[in-house]
Amino acid sequence: MEREAIAACLSVPRGPVEIRKMPVAAPGRGEALVRMEACGICHSDVMITGLDKLPLTPLVLGHEGIGVVEEVGDGVANVAVGDRVGITYFAAGCGVCEACRAGFERYCAKQTNHGYTRQGVLATAGIVAARNLIRVPGSLTAEEAAPLCCAGWTAMGALGEAGVRAGQLVAIFGFGGLGHLALQYAKHAGARTAVVDVGAEKLEFARQLGADVAVAAEDARKTLVKEHGGADAAIVFTASAAAVPAAFSCLKRRGSLILVGLTADTYTFSVTETVLKGIRIQGSYLGSRADLERVFELAERGVARPKVTVYGIEAAPELMGELERGRLTGRAVIRF
């Protein structure tokens, strides 16, 4: 029997985020019906609200969700009714391309995504791809667990791409939902940490979380290079146009620039400097399955947990704007 959910949706490209009822059908093959407990709001949601074209309309946003499985479709064996699960942006890859066969499904050109190419989970219930769901420990609240499904996963993946080791200096550019988790993961790995942001409140938050250095963006190069010898890795989580060249300028020789925040800007780097200093520039998107499992393990142990502010679904439209303007500290989570 078809049911309804209350959801945060886009009815038209570049339209307002609306809170409306959406039909929820029975799960098909490889799918699960999940009653949602909570869903985080991600900068990717904000980007989707600004697209000129949408794969689906109306489109339910959201891909950072925690809920309980209420029904499964044919062929689903990895989760069962009653399981508490996490839903991520990545729904499924094609399974046959080179990326999928190599274990990098998240780089599949034909991948499907919750909250973009298929309906999302910023709703009281939703139909999701079951294959990549992750079981969520009962010791974590839904509000704590939700940001791990994207912010935590992506932050852990970026640190892995950077090859962070104990004693290295890791510079985190942008101290929002991803950055504040990356700081905790880097500290747990034994790295020294530096946070770069334009907001005084966020820099104070970084100090409270134990950052070794917290510096305003305009002073980043002076502080990191002249006083600390440069960063072994600079990870750019923000979509700020100025952050990428600033991060590049803060690297030491053989340093790594890891790009995570999505921006439409184009950048020019000095080839000579890149070559002579042995600098590596790499993009990082989400993380591996092991990374996802790791963030839940660390959260369950109390090693690294997100700072969250909880809202009702009626706040979702306003929160999208606040996130776009960089006014949120930690992660905003909708509780259903």
Q: Are domains 3-150+287-335 and 154-283 of this chain identical in fold? A: no
- Where does the pLDDT of residue 267 fall: very low under 50, low under 70, confident under 90, or very high at 90 and above? very high
Domain covering 154-283 assigned CATH 3.30.1490.20 in the classification: no
- Rounded (10°) angle between helices 179-188 and 151-162: 50
pLDDT tens digits, 203-221: 999 999 999 999 999 999 9
- DSSP structure string for 225-261: IIIT--EEEEEE-S--TTHHHHHHHTEEEEEEEEE-S
pLDDT at 144 over 90: yes
Cα–Cα distance between 253 and 277 in angstroms, integer? Answer: 5
pLDDT tens digits, 154-187: 999 999 999 999 999 999 999 999 999 999 999 9
Residue 24's beta-bridge partner residues?
Answer: 3
Q: Which CATH class is domain 3-150+287-335?
A: alpha beta
pLDDT tens digits, 82-127: 999 999 999 999 999 999 999 999 999 999 999 999 999 999 999 9
Cα–Cα distance between 72 and 87 in angstroms, integer? Answer: 15
pLDDT at 1 over 60: no
In 69-222, which ranges are continuous DSSP H helix? 98-101, 142-145, 151-162, 179-188, 200-208, 220-221
Domain boundaries, given as residue ranges, for the chain: 3-150+287-335, 154-283
